[in-house]
Structure formats: C-alpha cells, structure tokens
C-alpha cells in the first residue's frame, strides 16, 4: 500500500488532481452549510458582476440567483451523477465482458456483437434520445449515461479475462473442481480491478461532461442546479454577463482535468511496469 | 331608420390612452413627411409557417406574411375602431341585426380577375364557414343569412344582436378568398395554395423553403401610389441569437414580435437607428396565465388557488423575467380591450397571507408538477421563478419539461397540474375570453380550451347572455363575471404580454393597425 502511494505521488500531476478533487468534494459536502437556501432562490438583483458587495463573489444570474451557490450545489449533482452512472455502467459492462472473455465461442460472439451494436451509435445522440423519451430526470440521465458508457468497459474486461483465463492458477482452479462462477469471481475478476479502476476514474469525468452537455441543451433535470444548466442558461447573455457561464465552465474544466490526472496517477501506481518512468 | 356607425369613439378614447402608455419607445415621427416610393425590407419571422394560404392556416407566421397578400372587409385602428378596407363603408340597422357592407369597386385579384360581392359570399358563407376555426362558430351560431344585395354590396343578418361580429372582419379571421380559384375544388388539395392569390398590397413571388418568402409590390393595387415598398423578404433563421446578430449586422431590418428574445430588446434598442414598439398587438392582447387543473387535489380548493396568487411575485416576473415588458394582469379581460374592469379586488404579492391561506386549506405537502411551456428560455426562467415563489410559502413543486408536441398533448388531454399558457383575446370577451372559462368548452385535444376543467353555471350564463346583449347592457354583465372569476381563480392571471417589434427607424408608418405587422405594407414606406 505504501509503495502504491509512493508510485502515485511520483506523478506530480496526479497529486494536483487529487487536491483539486478534494476541494470539489469539500464544496459538495459543505454546500448546504455555506449556502443553506436553495440555489434556485432569487436572492438579490439580477446580473450583479463578480465580487459584488453582499457576499456575491461570483455574481448573480438573470433572475438574481447566486452563481457561487449554484456552483457549490452543482458540485453535488455533478459528482453524484458521475459516480452513480459510472457504477451503473460498470455493473452492466463487467459481467458482459467477463462472460464473453471467459466462455469465448458463441457466447463471446453474441455478447460482443451486442456490445458493438451500442458502440456504432453515436454516444451523445443516443443519450439525447434516451433522456428525451424518458423525460429529463436524475434517473433517466444516469441511465442514459450508463447505457452509452458501458461498451468500452465490457471490451476492456473481456480482453483482460481472455488473457487471465489461460494463466496457470486459473487452470489449476479448474482442475481442482472449483465452480465456474467461483473461478470468475474469486480468481479472474480481482485481477482486472487495476485497469477497471483507471478506466472508471476517466469515466466519471466523461459522465460529468455528458451530463453537462445534456443540461446545456435543456435536457437536464429541471429541478436540479447543475453546472451544465448554468452554462446553458447563461449562454445567451454571454455578452452582457459572462460570469454566469464562465464560472460553471471553470468548475467543469477543473473537475474533468482533476479526474483525468488522478486516473493517470492511478495507472502509474497500479501498473508499475507500464508507467512511463519504467518502474 | 338606419344609422351610420363607424365606431365607439368615446368608449375607446380611454383605451387608446392606456395603449399609448404601453408603447415603450415609439420613434417620434415627422407627421408632415411625404411617403417615398421604393426600397426593400427584410423581416425575420419565426418559425417557418406550414403554408401561406390564410383561409386554411392561421399560425402566427402565416398571418404575418399572408396578411399583406390577402385582405378582409375591414381594418382596425390600434384602438380597435373599424376602418375601411375592401368594404368602403358599412351600415348597421337600429336593432343591431342587419349589417350592410358597400364594397370597393375596381379591385383586382393578383391574377387580374375582378373582386366582387360573389367572392365575399363565397368566402364568408362557403369557404370560411367550412374551414375556419374562429369564423365557423360565429357564423353558425350568430348569422341568419349572408346575401348579395348588389354587385358590390353584401348584407349580413344576425339571429340576435352580436356586437363582437364587427371585430371579425380582420384579415386573419375572414380573409377574402378568390371564388374563381376555389369554388367546387378540394380546398386543402388545391394546387393554388402554394401560390396564394389575394387582393392585398403585396403579391407572392417565391418561397425558398427553409430560407425566405419573397413578396413584391402589387402594381394594380386600388389605392393610388400604394404600396410604397417594392420588395419584401421574410427570412427564416431558426436560432434566436442568430436572428439578433442578423439584425445587428444589417441583414435583417425587422425582428417581428416573438422572433426576438425579450432580454435582447433593451440591448438592441440602444443601437443607432433602432426603434422598438409594442403597438400592433391590440386585437390579440395576449394574456399570460398559470393554468391550474382544478379537478382534484389542493388545486380544486379556492383558498389554495388564492394562496398561490398571493405567493407569485408578478412584478418580479414583469420587471426581471420579461425585462420590464408587459402589464401585471388582474382580470380575465385584458386592460387593453373593452370591458376590462378596474373595480376588482387585487391579489398583492404577500407570502405571509399565502402561508395563512395554505394553512387553512387541505394542502398536506404533496408535490405539485409544473409543466414548463416549451416556448424558449424566457418561459423556462419564468417557471423557475414561479416554482421558487411557491416553494417559499411551503408548496412542494416539481418542474417537468417536454417539447411543444408533448406539451400540447398533455395539456390538451388534461394530463397536467399547472402550466403557463397565453391566449389571444381578439378584441372582445365573446371572441377570446369566454372560451377559456365556459364549461361547454371543456373539450379534449385543444390546449387552448377550458383545460382547467372549471365549471360554474353562473359564469356560463353570464358569458352567454353578454355575448348577445345590447351594447349598453354588456359592461354590467362582464363586470359581474369578472368579479366571480377573480374570486374563484380558475387560472392565475400573470401578465398582459408585450411582443416588442424591433425595426430600423427608416421604416415609417410601420405599424398602424391593431394586428401588428400582419398588414403593415399597405402604408409602410422607407425613408431614403
């Protein structure tokens, strides 16, 4: 474990990413404490520029809602959607990949054609269609993001399992008569955790981007303050009131950057032989 | 004995004053300036209409473009006083039952055929009676006969006095249809629908689908020297921001009402040679409200609805959401039309009073869905502000978004709890107001019917009586009906809306009638 952190810390970018992520997490947790009222509340005059007296550090939007409050509360929604949709995508992708890789043959063919079917549809277009059909809400957005992001997981897990199942310890488990499900769950999958973890951190980032894009287009949950919604709502006033869109944009940029940096650090730490420093 | 009647001058003077107060910035016009010939005008209209055949289609964009191709018997001043158009003069009998219209002679259709009383009979009694959703109920219920009493004279006889009929002869309600083209054909399949023929000041030239409609000056127009403008292009630009940019860069000369986002108006107005007017919507007087499904739950309770009215900050909506455009509405009848009562209780913005009323009601914290009207950003912001107002007094709200088709479907099938809506008033409560509140109009499939499910026998009776009452009896009946509705609140009236038109100040005499830019090019001219 110590070696893991040592290798992780060797990647300076990853440490910076982790710090940024910690700050965003703190914002998400502290939002109800620092801004106890709803971020939708019209608290003062509209279009106040940043650093306005009265504590409106990031200004107010077209209805006089506090942009800073929106960003803090939006952090919660973005992180929750990023995490939950990634977990959902993993829950779909890992079993499909594991079964395809372990059994091979017809099962592999069938599952991989099914996966390719999803991969051939442009992800964002599919997400829009799903949300539009199901009505925009937290659940439909999580579902849509999960449905468009599981295929790469399935392909990754399949590749890993394909190579792992020929290893001697797996062969040995078969010989001593362990059940197939037990072999997959206890011998094969634990060894795929490293690449999945790396991939998941990147997936959280792309899920946040996807949710922001949906909200920007007006397909977000209309009852939840999100960064994408704030950018979309402020877009048409960009000339007079740049801050309404700018600060949530910065928040998305930092979060996605941080997650990518952390993902790279995890990759270095978990796959010492592959890391750029060569171990 | 027959008296000549041209308008309710006195009654409308006060109205005219109110209207001029609603005009935000009318460029002072040089009254002595002599109109000049020539020029091309480019207008932005949104969305692209399905057709320009005004008899069959009455969408806003269709009316804006085809309102200069077709004409009706009358035009209306911005105070709704009838003016001659294809009818030169008219007489109304003392018993208010017989209306005689003298038609202008020497009028030609765009294809050269003469316009006569036969065309009027065909239009009013045959074509529009069959296809027009607003003329059909009027003609079927109120009109006994429409007769040709001369080559250039038409007489309409009513069953009972029905004063609002005089507001029905604008080009959107009763456009004159060429008999020689449509008689005996399948109207909707007539190939001439693609190249509309009217008598108006502008002739159809070309429709480049997805791009523009091109009209040109009608050289044979019956008014000497008119129209003044040579060519008109109505351009279709799908995105509101692009339309504003097209105006700023000079590609577009006019942003018609509804094609410009309201919050862009103050910015555009500050530029050189840009005029903004809210005139030209008097016939429609769009009235915005929150429709409530009063069939069940807390919304069925009067005190809960009154609480909501106290909770919603309508001044904020007008000043912030609508950038200061519009007037706070206090009654089902717009203050911009006749019969509006000023003697009604007002619901002030008072969250404390709202909380008291909610405490007295049976509301126990259930979540109420608010269906967002999908007509663009401003309506979304308004829904968000409304939700916050209601949550502030302890009502749990949930916004639901959908597209235009989904909204129409849900509201038309009564599958909603609350939603924004706005309806045109058409100048008279019998034409544009009663339809929203009478129980006979609780019909599925039309989001502009009585979708609330509101039924009150007294209201039904008063509206029916007022429609056919003598002129002098009508105000009292409408006063009574407004009192009942303001107390019971089947909808929460929000704002009498303004749809500002943004245009270059070189355009003179641009909006002169009560139907806005729909019939503008008879009089408009370009300062060169």
ipTM of the prediction greater than 0.95, yes or no: no
Is the CB of A38 less than 8 angstroms away from the CB of B391?
yes
What is the per-residue DSSP string for B118-152?
Answer: HHHHIIIIIIHHHH-TTHHHHHHHHEEEEEEEETT
Which of A42, A233, A237 is closest, CB to CB, to B385? A42
Contacts of B380 in chain A (CB under 8 A): 218, 222, 233
| pLDDT tens-digit series, residues B344-386 | 999 999 999 999 999 999 999 999 999 999 888 899 999 999 9
Distances from the Cα of B195 to the Cαs of A202, B126, B190, B250, B519, in angstroms? 58, 21, 10, 29, 18
Q: What is the mean pLDDT of residues B167-172?
A: 93
Give the dihedral of Cα atoms A103, A107, A113, A116; nearest 10 deg. Answer: -40
Q: What is the mean pLDDT of residues B499-514?
A: 93
- C-alpha–C-alpha distance, residues B8 and B82, integer Å: 9
CB-neighbour burial class of residue A25 (10 A; exposed 0-12, middle 13-18, buried 19+): middle
Helices (H), B249-292: 265-269
**B103 touches B176 (CB < 8 A):** no
Q: Which residue of A has its CA nearest to B239?
A: A236
- C-alpha–C-alpha distance, residues A248 and A93, integer Å: 31
| pLDDT tens-digit series, residues B22-68 | 444 444 445 557 899 999 999 999 889 989 999 999 888 999 999 99
Contacts of A219 in chain B (CB under 8 A): 401
Q: What is the mean pLDDT of residues B63-74?
A: 96
Whether residue B221 is predicted with pLDDT greater than 80 in this model: the reply is yes
Q: Residue B181 is encoded by which pair of tokens? A: 């083209």
Bridge partners of A142, per DSSP, are none
- C-alpha–C-alpha distance, residues B371 and B393, integer Å: 20
pLDDT at residue number A164: 92
| H or E segment to which residue B233 belongs | strand B231-235
pLDDT at residue number B32: 54
Can you give the three-state secondary structure of B482-516, one letter per residue? Answer: HHHHHHHCCEEEEEECCCCEEEECCEECCCCCCCH
- Closest to B53 in 3D by CA, of B157, B161, B191: B191
| pLDDT tens-digit series, residues A210-246 | 999 999 888 999 999 999 999 999 988 888 899 999 9
Q: How far is B324 from chain A (nearest CA, A)?
A: 13
Residues in chain A whose beta carbon is closer than 8 A to a beta carbon of chain B? Answer: 38, 40-42, 46, 62-64, 132, 135-136, 218-219, 222-223, 233, 236-237, 239-240
pLDDT at residue number B129: 94
B133 pLDDT band (50/70/90 cuts)?
confident
B3 pLDDT band (50/70/90 cuts)?
very low
CB-neighbour burial class of residue B129 (10 A; exposed 0-12, middle 13-18, buried 19+): middle
Which of A63, A136, A223 is closest, CB to CB, to B320? A63
Q: What is the pLDDT along chain A (279 residues), one digit of tens a residue?
A: 788 888 888 889 999 999 999 999 999 999 999 999 999 999 999 999 999 888 899 999 999 999 999 999 999 999 999 999 999 999 999 999 999 999 999 999 999 999 999 999 999 999 999 999 998 999 999 999 999 999 999 999 999 999 999 999 999 999 999 999 999 999 899 989 999 999 999 999 999 999 999 998 889 999 999 999 999 999 888 888 999 999 999 999 999 999 999 999 998 888 766 545 443
Cross-sheet strand order for the sheet of B231-235: B202-208, B212-217, B231-235, B40-44, B254-255, B501-504, B274-277
Q: What is the mean pLDDT of residues B314-323?
A: 95
- Closest to B456 in 3D by CA, of B430, B480, B421, B425: B480
Q: What are phi and psi of B9, to 5 degrees?
A: -50, -50
B10 pLDDT band (50/70/90 cuts)?
very low
Is the CB of B401 less than 8 angstroms away from the CB of A135?
yes
Is the CB of B402 less than 8 angstroms away from the CB of A46?
no
Instruction: Quote the radius of gyration of chain B (alpha carbons, Å).
Output: 23
Instruction: Quote the radius of gyration of chain A (alpha carbons, Å).
Output: 22
pLDDT at residue number B337: 86
Residue B24 is classified by DSSP as -
| pLDDT tens-digit series, residues B407-455 | 999 999 999 999 999 999 998 999 999 999 999 999 888 888 999 999 9
What's the gap between Cα B280 and its chain centre?
10
**B495 touches B325 (CB < 8 A):** no
Residue B25 is classified by DSSP as B
pLDDT at residue number B25: 41
Is the CB of B385 less than 8 angstroms away from the CB of A237?
no
Which of B380, B384, B401 is closest, CB to CB, to A40? B384
Instruction: Answer positive or negative: Cα dihedral of A8, A13, A17, A18.
Output: positive
What is the residue-averaged pLDDT of chain B?
91
Contacts of A41 in chain B (CB under 8 A): 388, 392
Helices and strands per DSSP (H, E), number in chain B: 16, 22
Helices (H), chain A: 2-10, 12-34, 67-103, 105-120, 123-134, 138-164, 168-175, 180-182, 193-216, 227-234, 242-270
Whether residue B151 is predicted with pLDDT greater than 70 in this model: the reply is yes
Contacts of B399 in chain A (CB under 8 A): 222-223
Contacts of B263 in chain A (CB under 8 A): 62, 236-237
Q: Quick one: what percent of chain B has pLDDT higher than 90?
A: 80
What's the gap between Cα A275 and its chain centre?
23
Whether residue B7 is predicted with pLDDT greater than 60 in this model: the reply is no
B458 pLDDT band (50/70/90 cuts)?
very high
> Are β-strands B501-504 and B327-328 bridged in parallel, bridged antiparallel, or unpaired?
unpaired
- Closest to A75 in 3D by CA, of A35, A41, A43, A48: A35
- C-alpha–C-alpha distance, residues A163 and A158, integer Å: 9
Residues in chain B whose beta carbon is closer than 8 A to a beta carbon of chain A? Answer: 240-241, 261, 263-264, 267, 316, 320-321, 372, 377, 380-381, 383-385, 387-388, 391-392, 398-403
Which of B380, B388, B400 is closest, CB to CB, to A135? B400
pLDDT at residue number A279: 39
């Amino acid at each position: 474990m110590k070696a893991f952190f040592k290798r992780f810390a060797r990647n300076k970018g990853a440490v910076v990413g982790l710090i940024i992520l910690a700050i965003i997490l703190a914002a998400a947790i502290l939002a109800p404490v620092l801004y106890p009222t709803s971020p939708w509340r019209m608290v003062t005059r509209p279009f106040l520029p940043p650093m306005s007296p009265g504590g409106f550090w990031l200004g107010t939007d077209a209805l006089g809602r506090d942009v800073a409050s929106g960003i803090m509360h939006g952090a919660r929604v973005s992180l929750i959607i990023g995490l939950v949709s990634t977990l959902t995508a993993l829950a779909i992708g890992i079993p499909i990949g594991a079964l395809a890789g372990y059994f091979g043959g017809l099962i592999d063919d069938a599952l991989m054609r099914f996966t390719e079917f999803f991969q051939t549809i442009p992800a964002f277009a599919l997400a829009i269609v799903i949300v539009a059909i199901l009505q925009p809400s937290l659940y439909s957005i999580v579902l849509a993001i999960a449905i468009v992001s599981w295929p790469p997981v399935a392909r990754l897990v399949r590749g890993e399992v394909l190579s792992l199942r020929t290893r001697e310890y797996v062969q040995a488990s078969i010989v001593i008569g362990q059940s197939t499900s037990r072999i997959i769950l206890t011998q094969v999958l634990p060894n795929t955790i490293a690449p999945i973890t790396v991939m998941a951190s990147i997936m959280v980032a792309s899920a946040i981007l996807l949710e922001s894009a949906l909200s920007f287009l007006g397909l977000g949950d209309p009852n939840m303050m999100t960064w994408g919604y704030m950018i979309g709502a402020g877009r048409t006033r960009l000339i007079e009131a740049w801050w309404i869109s700018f600060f949530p944009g910065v928040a998305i940029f930092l979060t996605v950057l941080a997650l990518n940096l952390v993902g790279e650090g995890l990759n270095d730490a978990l796959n010492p032989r592959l890391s750029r420093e060569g171990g | 004995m027959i008296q000549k009647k041209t308008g309710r001058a006195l009654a409308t003077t006060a109205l005219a004053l109110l209207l001029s107060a609603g005009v935000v910035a009318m460029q002072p016009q040089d009254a002595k300036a002599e109109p000049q010939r020539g020029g091309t005008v480019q207008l932005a209209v949104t969305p692209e209409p399905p057709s320009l055949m005004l008899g069959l289609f009455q969408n806003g964009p269709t009316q804006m473009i085809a309102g200069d191709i077709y004409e009706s018997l009358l035009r209306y001043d911005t105070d709704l006083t009838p003016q001659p158009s294809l009818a030169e003069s008219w007489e109304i009998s003392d018993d208010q039952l017989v209306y005689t219209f003298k038609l202008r002679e020497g009028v030609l259709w765009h294809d050269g055929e003469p316009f006569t009383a036969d065309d009027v009979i065909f239009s009013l009694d045959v074509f529009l009676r069959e296809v027009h959703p607003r003329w059909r109920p009027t003609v079927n219920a109120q009109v006994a006969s429409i007769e040709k009493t001369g080559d250039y004279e038409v007489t309409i006889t009513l069953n009972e006095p029905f004063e609002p009929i005089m507001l029905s002869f604008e080009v959107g309600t009763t456009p004159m249809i060429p008999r020689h083209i449509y008689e005996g054909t399948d109207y909707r399949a007539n190939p001439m629908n693609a190249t509309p023929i009217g008598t108006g000041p502008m002739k159809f030239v070309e429709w480049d689908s997805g791009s523009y409609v091109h009209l040109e000056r009608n050289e044979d127009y019956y008014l000497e020297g008119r129209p003044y403008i040579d060519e008109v292009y109505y351009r279709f630009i799908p995105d509101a921001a692009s339309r504003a940019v097209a105006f700023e860069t000079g590609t577009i000369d006019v942003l018609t009402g509804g094609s410009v986002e309201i919050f862009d108006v103050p910015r555009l107005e500050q530029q050189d040679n840009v005029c903004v007017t809210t005139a030209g919507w008097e016939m429609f007087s769009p009235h915005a409200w929150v429709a409530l499904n009063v069939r069940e739950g807390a919304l069925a309770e009067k005190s809960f609805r009154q609480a909501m009215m106290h909770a919603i900050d309508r001044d904020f909506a007008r000043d912030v959401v609508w950038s200061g455009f519009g007037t706070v509405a206090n009654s089902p009848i717009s203050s911009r039309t006749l019969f509006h009562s000023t003697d009604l209780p007002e619901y002030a913005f008072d969250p404390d009073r709202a909380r008291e009323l909610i405490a007295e009601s049976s509301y126990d914290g259930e979540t109420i869905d608010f269906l967002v009207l999908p007509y663009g950003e401003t309506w979304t912001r308004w829904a968000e502000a409304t939700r916050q107002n209601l949550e502030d007094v302890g009502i749990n709200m949930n916004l639901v978004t959908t597209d235009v088709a989904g909204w129409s479907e849900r509201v038309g099938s009564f599958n909603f709890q609350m939603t924004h809506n706005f309806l045109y008033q058409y100048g008279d409560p019998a034409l544009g107001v009663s339809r929203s509140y009478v129980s006979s109009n609780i019909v599925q499939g039309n989001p502009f019917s009585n979708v609330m499910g509101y039924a009150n026998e007294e209201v039904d009776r008063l509206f029916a009586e007022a429609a056919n009452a003598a002129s002098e009896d009508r105000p009292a009946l409408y006063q009574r009906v407004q009192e009942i509705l303001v107390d019971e609140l089947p909808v929460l009236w929000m704002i009498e809306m303004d749809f500002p038109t943004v245009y270059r100040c070189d355009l003179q005499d641009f909006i002169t009638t009560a139907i806005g830019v729909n019939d503008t090019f008879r009089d408009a001219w370009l300062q060169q």
